[in-house]
Structure 1
């Protein structure tokens, strides 16, 4: 139980407990032994990999969690769920193949079980780890499973998929790279670039979605881009590495709780009627504002932690402006989520008696998080003062104003020069970012995924033909 394990175990324990409580109170899930079995296996794998001290134990927990989660994705049994399950299984198989090969190469080289953080890595072995963890994290290019799996999975499964499971990708990379940070500085700029692209690609794709859970899935893609950016920053500037890893730990805690509250609340909202929908929608604004980084929320401190790492690294003025633009985009995404949720029709028949208590506890956790002792002192210092308040407030205000101008009904009365006459995200986003929809559709073709598979196979063959000598560290 080291500092890294504590940083990931706390949000994992909270989210698994709250989402499991929600599932146990949910009609159709509490009476399903298959769902319960897959849930408990995925939980066991998740906690095992967090507490693992050796690579083989870490891989076992990672694989158990990954393949048990397949049963959660396809639980509903609809054609859409089965199709999403095929994508999930194929992409996870690619990731597990990379991880297994990397772990096997290290085990053969060491001649025994290898402790996490003490292994000696070849560049190609690290590449295999990077591909496997990137698939789990949902970075752009290997993200295609994530926006498909979230909309079809039951609400509590989506909460743990987005709130906990995808973050094991950044945990794995932290375990294998952090002890050798100064020797891996060449990887830093590439990770930063990939993280920035993922942030804005997730925002643009989410604004082009109409289903609330799909918008949340794209939001997770965007937020995991921030995690990759921080990991790259830690490698690029070793002096800022400690602050960057602390920023990742806070991002994991903040994003996990906020996203779990949003998913659970979305499930309650869609099963409610009348005044209950109004109250749920109002309370959902709280985690949405936190994810957008509004002042006095957990997102405010997450942004402060990110800014502290950027300032310590001395990356210049361009990166803070990009991060501010990302905050504006996240606000747009949260407004899109709340709007798409509000316009969903009420459920037919009598409203389902929803499990309010676990969702209420998740909201309380989100609200209480900024005022706990877990906030590092340097993060509190960065968030203090009127200037910090203003820098956190104006991106949220700008994002809300942009959403009102581009995506709401009054905007249809204005003939904007940069958008076609058709109304809605599917019209506005292709006009603002030409070709995005076409690119995303092509990335979901089996031929493209097959090309990725062949690329991974080539990596594996190269790894097998490489002599086990000359490690990185």
Structure 2
């Protein structure tokens, strides 16, 4: 009886935010509904803490093509991080918007996106995952354009275009997967990859579709556009929870641990490395803290992209690598969410308040910098240990690159703390206790994370922490060196979205010259048909002559 009641929290975690949305339209109970909306993530948080992954499974054969939800070890950590961040952001939202109409409008999209995020985490089949992933993606558009100014609508346009492209690619990939499997569960779909004649096409579609959400290099442009214009609680969940949905999609559907592919491994690892360094280079030029944090997310997701590449090269070690990716996603999501929420409270001119918040921001910033006895130290140790599985000299090269990546992340965090220093101009809204206390709880969660899991606690006890200080010292030295070079200080910030400008130019060029391209394409197609016919005719003559 107790187990059934506890497992019901999984359903409640998804249904509760959905049920609150229509209640927001009822004026008589609106104050109560708004109070409940602020705490809408709590059932899912309790589910992550109390539900046992081994027994938490629900089947609905009458719904869609057969719907299955449940939890496994990976889903539990993803749900824990997402639910904690959504809960904190929900409580934060109530104080962030002073007007009731703004709260109603924001919570309408916020709750739908929350339900979609929780739903895809606990989904155990491709159709329910697609349903919740789509709900989250389209509801998030309302969060991006919430302020209804030109910048918000421009960012929303880029976001929704990429979302639609990703949804179409994902739908096609799922149809191709369903053709080779009688069952739509994750395990059956991954196993079916081995005999799938369209294996490489499906991998490409899945990697690209989920890569849009994860912010892979080239498809990352929505992140630095959306984060600065979205309200602070929306930025926190966009970067801390929703971006991890793309990563979870890779883990659920790519044949990691099932097949070995040197080509996919090399390509994905290279993309991850490019994102890791590109995000830092562009991020260091930024002067808007939220834009810098967006590029930091791109860089951090580059590290997780690399690990996906590891899975294609080292299928025999995939279980170990999966544990590292999951912990890294939890660590990054909570830390990045705390940074966004903290930055959003720097609107006060009270120096004492600003100093207190700045010191609080140091906690997630140092965690991302992997200082000793932080969650970042555990995550970076796990990542570095996986490089030992590679043959020389790649093991040494990858290990060095990860250390350089840690230095780069630390440089970004130092830059962030400089931009939001107490003497800087106010940013965001003024601090209040209602904003402060949920953020403090999140900071406490970040501090306790490395000591909350058995394998992390074991690493803390056995690991020599001193080497993890070297990247911090090196980053401080580089920062001091840069501060003395005036030319480097006067570098203009790269426009948010960077290469989206080139995408726009190409699109406008195609639109303006569409008729010319149609004309060229028509004659090119006719030429190919003519050439194919001639080759076929010549081949038939050769075959007849041989006979």
TM interval, short-chain normalised: 0.7 to 0.9
Alpha-carbon distance in structure 2 between the residues aligned to 1:22 and 1:87: 27
2:403 pairs with 1:324 = yes
- 2:52 is matched with none
Alpha-carbon distance in structure 1 between the residues aligned to 2:389 and 2:457: 15
Deviations 1:66-111 (A, max 9, x none): 110011111111211111111111111111111011112333554x
Q: 2:202 aligns with which of 99, 122, 125?
A: 125
2:503 pairs with 1:445 = yes
Alpha-carbon distance in structure 1 between the residues aligned to 2:91 and 2:74: 26
If the length of structure 2 is used for normalisation, what is the TM-score? 0.74
Q: CA deviation at 1:39?
A: 0.6
Contact 1:5 1:51 in 2 (8 A): yes
Q: CA deviation at 1:373?
A: 2.4
Alpha-carbon distance in structure 1 between the residues aligned to 2:82 and 2:428: 35
Structure 2 CA distance for partners of 1:175 and 1:379, relative to 1, 3 Å: farther
Alpha-carbon distance in structure 2 between the residues aligned to 1:392 and 1:159: 27
Alpha-carbon distance in structure 1 between the residues aligned to 2:496 and 2:341: 32
- 2:479 is matched with 403
Alpha-carbon distance in structure 1 between the residues aligned to 2:200 and 2:243: 24
Which structure 2 segments of 5+ residues have no match? 1-70, 194-198, 515-547
Deviations 1:383-407 (A, max 9, x none): 612xxx232110111112211221x
Structure 2 CA distance for partners of 1:81 and 1:439, relative to 1, 3 Å: closer
Contact 2:236 2:340 in 1 (8 A): yes
2:456 pairs with 1:391 = no
Deviations 1:303-346 (A, max 9, x none): 11111222234442111111111111101100111111225413
* Pairing 1:3-402 to 2, within 5 Å after superposition: 3-28=73-98, 31=101, 32-110=103-181, 114-119=184-189, 120-121=192-193, 122-178=199-255, 181-271=258-348, 273-314=350-391, 315-342=394-421, 344-346=424-426, 355-376=435-456, 379-380=459-460, 384-385=463-464, 389-402=465-478
CA RMSD between the two structures: 2.7
Structure 2 CA distance for partners of 1:67 and 1:449, relative to 1, 3 Å: farther
Alpha-carbon distance in structure 2 between the residues aligned to 1:375 and 1:448: 49
- The worse-fitting range, judged by mean Cα deviation, of 335-344 and 13-22 is 335-344
Alpha-carbon distance in structure 2 between the residues aligned to 1:441 and 1:123: 27
Deviations 1:193-214 (A, max 9, x none): 1111110000001001110001
Q: CA deviation at 1:447?
A: 3.6
Contact 1:271 1:354 in 2 (8 A): no
Deviations 1:409-457 (A, max 9, x none): xx1xxxx5xxxx5452625x9xxxxxx8899346553144689999xxx
Alpha-carbon distance in structure 1 between the residues aligned to 2:124 and 2:332: 25
SS at match of 1:136: helix
Alpha-carbon distance in structure 2 between the residues aligned to 1:59 and 1:452: 32
Contact 1:308 1:379 in 2 (8 A): no
Contact 2:257 2:316 in 1 (8 A): no
Contact 1:11 1:257 in 2 (8 A): yes
Structure 2 CA distance for partners of 1:350 and 1:70, relative to 1, 3 Å: closer
Q: CA deviation at 1:234?
A: 1.8
Alpha-carbon distance in structure 1 between the residues aligned to 2:361 and 2:395: 36
Alpha-carbon distance in structure 2 between the residues aligned to 1:286 and 1:426: 29
Contact 1:292 1:330 in 2 (8 A): yes
Alpha-carbon distance in structure 2 between the residues aligned to 1:30 and 1:12: 26
Contact 1:150 1:213 in 2 (8 A): yes
- The worse-fitting range, judged by mean Cα deviation, of 372-381 and 204-213 is 372-381
Alpha-carbon distance in structure 1 between the residues aligned to 2:146 and 2:330: 27
Alpha-carbon distance in structure 1 between the residues aligned to 2:429 and 2:283: 31
Alpha-carbon distance in structure 2 between the residues aligned to 1:281 and 1:35: 27
- The worse-fitting range, judged by mean Cα deviation, of 440-449 and 79-88 is 440-449
Alpha-carbon distance in structure 1 between the residues aligned to 2:144 and 2:377: 32
Alpha-carbon distance in structure 2 between the residues aligned to 1:437 and 1:164: 25
Q: CA deviation at 1:181?
A: 3.1
